[in-house]
C-alpha cells in the first residue's frame, strides 16, 4: 500500500476527490458560455489531432521518398531533411497544449550552451502520457538539438504513427521486463554504436523510472522501505540499466581510450576528407565526441495532477501552467562504471527531485524567488505550418497520383497510343 499522502494524490488524479483550481475539467466549471465555446472548439481540435496521425504522417514520407537515394550517397543531406521534418512534426504536438492554454515555464540551470555544442543525456520523471508532449514543447527552442534527439521509448509505441517515424529517425524502442533486460541492454548499446555518431545525435532522452508514476509508486515505496532506500512521494525509484548502458557506450572516455584522428599532408587525402565532410560529418564519426553532461529534467503539473495526451489534444482541462526544471551534471562525475555507486547516485538525484516537487506543490516555486521563462509560439507560425503541411499533402497527392497512374498505364497498356 502507498502511504496516506501518496494515496490522496492518486485519488485526486483519479477524480475521487474534489480537484483544486488548475486541475479541473472545463465542463465542470466556468460559465455556460465557456462550456459552449469548448464544445464548439472540440471538433476542430479533434481534426487537428487526427491530421497529425493521418495527413501529416503521409506527407512526411511523401517528402522522404524523393531523398531516399541520399541516405547512402549523401547521408548528411538525408538526415538534415529528415531532422527538419521530425522537428516540425513534434512542434504540432507542442502546439496542442499551447493552443489549449497549457503554458510551459522553464526553471533552473541555463541550458543554452548545452544544446548548441554539446552531447547530453536527458533524464526526466515520468507521470503520464503528457510528459512527452511537454518535452516536445521545451525542445522547440533548443536549436539543433531538437532535430538531433534519440528517444528511448517503450516497444508498445513502435508501430504507432509517431513510432514509425521515430524508428526511421533512429529512436530506440525498449522491451521492459527482467526476462529481456540483459539482451535489451546489449541491443541498446549496439543501436547507439550504429546510430549516435553516424547520424550526429546530440541529446539522448529517457525516463529512468521505467513507467508512469501511478503504476509504479506503490511497488517503489515498498521496495524502498524494505531495502532502506529513499521514500519518494512524487517520483519513483529510478532504474539505472539504460543510463549505465548509454554512458558506457557513448559517455565520457578516459584519455587512454581516445583514439587520435589521423592527419595527413596528402592533397588527395585532404580532398577526400573535404568530400567526406560534405557528404557526411565524417569528423564526427572519426572523433566520436561523447556525452559530456547529464541533464536532469523535472516536470511539475498543477497540484501534482498530471495532464494526459488526450487532454493536450482536446483541451479538456482548464487553462494551467506546467513547470519544467533543469539541473545539469557533469557526466564525468557520474559513477556509471560501478552499478552500486550509480544506483546510489541516481537515488540521491531523485530524492532531490522529490523534495523539489514537494516544495513546488506547496509554494509554487522550485527555488525561492525564481521566476520561470514562458515558452511561447507565434500564431502566425502555427497557422503557417498547418497551411504548409496541408498544401504539401495536396500537392503530393496530385504528383504521386499522376505518377502511379502513368506507371500503371504503361505497364498494363505499353503499346497503346
> What separation in angstroms does the CA of 343 have from each of 88, 203, 240, 334, 335?
37, 22, 6, 10, 9
Q: C-alpha grid cell for residue 20? A: 483544486
For residue 276, the enclosing domain spans: 102-253+270-377
Q: Tell me, what's the pLDDT at 279?
A: 59
Whether the per-residue pLDDT at 261 is higher than 50: the answer is no
- The answer to whether residue 282 sits within a structural domain is yes
Residue 231 within any structural domain of the chain = yes
What's residue 270's pLDDT? Answer: 52
Asked, for residue 301, whether it belongs to a domain, the answer is yes
pLDDT at 321 over 60: yes
The strand order across the sheet containing 373-374 reads: 172-174, 149-154, 203-206, 120-124, 293-300, 320-330, 102-108, 373-374
Q: Please name which of 133, 128, 123 lies closest in space to residue 203, comparing C-alpha atoms.
A: 123
Q: Map residue 53 onto helix, strand or coil.
A: helix
| DSSP secondary structure string for all residues of 121-152 | EEEE---STTHHHHHHHHHTTSGGGGGSEEEE
Mean pLDDT of 271-295: 72
- The number of CA neighbours under 13 Å toward the Cβ of 357 is 28
Phi/psi of residue 122, nearest 5 degrees: -100, 125
Q: Which residues have CB under 8 Å from 327's CB, separation 6+?
A: 108, 109, 295, 296, 298
Residues 184-220 pLDDT 10s = 999 999 999 999 999 999 999 999 998 899 889 999 9
Quick check: is 128 in a domain? yes
Q: What angle do CA 231, 236, 242 make, to 5 degrees?
A: 130
Asked if residue 93 is part of any domain, the answer here is no
The pLDDT assigned to 355 comes to: 95
Q: Answer whether residue 292 is part of any domain.
A: yes
- Would you state the pLDDT for residue 17? 58
**Grid cell in block for residue 395:** 500537392
Per the structure, how many domains does the chain have?
A: 1
Strands in 125-226 per DSSP E = 149-154, 172-174, 203-206
Q: Is residue 214 part of a domain?
A: yes
The pLDDT score that the predictor gives to residue 345 is: 97
Task: Assign 374 to helix, strand or coil.
Answer: strand
Say if CB 115 and CB 142 are below 8 A apart.
Answer: yes
Predicted local confidence at residue 36, as pLDDT: 85
- pLDDT confidence of residue 39: 86
Longest dimension (CA), the chain: 83
pTM for the full model?
0.89
* CB neighbour burial string for 153-175, b if at least 16 within 10 angstroms, e if fewer: beeebbeebbbebbeebbbbbbe
Looking at the domain assignment, is residue 57 inside a domain? no
131 touches 311 (CB < 8 A): no
Note the pLDDT of residue 130: 94
Phi then psi for residue 98, to 5 deg, are: -65, -45
Instruction: Provide the pLDDT for residue 413.
Output: 81
Amino acid at each position: 500500500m502507498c502511504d496516506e499522502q501518496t494515496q490522496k494524490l492518486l485519488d485526486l488524479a483519479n477524480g475521487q476527490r474534489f480537484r483544486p483550481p488548475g486541475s479541473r475539467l472545463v465542463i465542470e466549471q466556468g460559465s455556460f458560455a465557456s462550456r459552449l465555446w469548448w464544445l464548439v472548439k472540440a471538433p476542430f481540435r479533434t481534426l487537428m489531432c487526427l491530421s497529425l496521425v493521418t495527413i501529416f504522417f503521409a506527407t512526411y514520407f511523401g517528402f522522404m521518398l524523393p531523398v531516399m537515394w541520399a541516405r547512402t550517397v549523401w547521408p548528411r543531406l538525408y538526415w538534415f531533411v529528415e531532422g527538419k521534418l521530425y522537428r516540425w512534426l513534434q512542434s504540432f504536438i507542442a502546439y496542442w497544449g499551447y493552443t489549449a492554454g497549457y503554458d510551459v515555464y522553464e526553471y533552473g540551470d541555463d541550458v543554452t550552451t548545452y544544446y548548441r555544442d554539446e552531447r547530453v543525456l536527458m533524464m526526466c520523471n515520468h507521470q503520464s502520457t503528457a510528459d512527452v508532449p511537454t518535452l516536445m514543447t521545451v525542445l522547440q527552442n533548443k536549436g539543433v538539438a531538437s532535430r538531433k534527439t534519440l528517444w528511448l521509448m517503450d516497444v508498445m509505441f513502435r508501430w504507432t504513427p509517431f513510432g514509425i517515424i521515430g524508428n526511421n529517425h533512429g529512436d530506440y524502442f525498449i522491451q521492459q521486463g527482467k526476462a529481456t533486460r540483459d539482451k535489451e541492454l546489449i541491443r541498446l548499446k549496439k543501436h547507439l554504436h550504429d546510430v549516435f555518431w553516424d547520424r550526429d545525435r546530440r541529446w539522448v532522452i529517457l525516463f529512468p523510472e521505467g513507467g508512469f508514476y501511478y503504476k509504479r509508486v506503490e511497488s517503489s515505496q515498498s521496495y524502498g522501505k524494505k531495502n532502506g532506500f529513499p521514500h519518494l512521494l512524487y517520483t519513483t525509484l529510478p532504474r539505472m540499466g539504460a543510463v549505465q548502458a548509454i554512458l558506457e557506450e557513448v559517455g565520457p572516455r578516459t584519455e587512454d581510450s581516445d583514439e587520435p584522428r589521423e592527419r595527413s599532408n596528402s592533397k588527395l587525402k585532404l580532398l577526400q576528407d573535404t568530400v567526406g565532410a560534405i557528404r557526411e560529418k565524417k569528423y564526427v564519426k572519426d572523433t566520436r565526441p561523447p556525452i559530456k553532461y547529464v541533464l536532469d529534467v523535472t516536470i511539475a503539473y498543477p497540484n501534482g495532477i498530471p495532464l494526459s495526451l488526450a487532454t493536450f489534444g482536446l483541451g479538456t482541462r482548464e487553462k494551467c501552467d506546467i513547470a519544467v526544471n533543469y539541473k545539469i551534471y557533469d557526466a564525468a562525475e557520474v559513477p556509471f562504471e560501478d552499478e552500486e555507486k550509480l544506483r546510489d547516485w541516481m537515488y540521491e538525484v531523485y530524492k532531490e527531485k522529490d523534495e523539489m516537487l514537494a516544495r513546488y506543490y506547496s509554494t509554487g516555486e522550485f527555488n525561492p524567488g525564481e521566476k520561470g521563462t514562458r515558452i511561447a509560439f507565434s500564431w502566425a507560425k502555427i497557422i503557417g505550418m498547418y497551411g504548409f503541411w496541408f498544401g504539401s499533402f495536396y500537392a503530393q497527392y496530385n504528383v504521386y497520383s499522376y505518377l502511379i497512374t502513368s506507371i500503371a498505364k504503361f505497364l498494363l497498356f505499353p503499346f497503346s497510343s
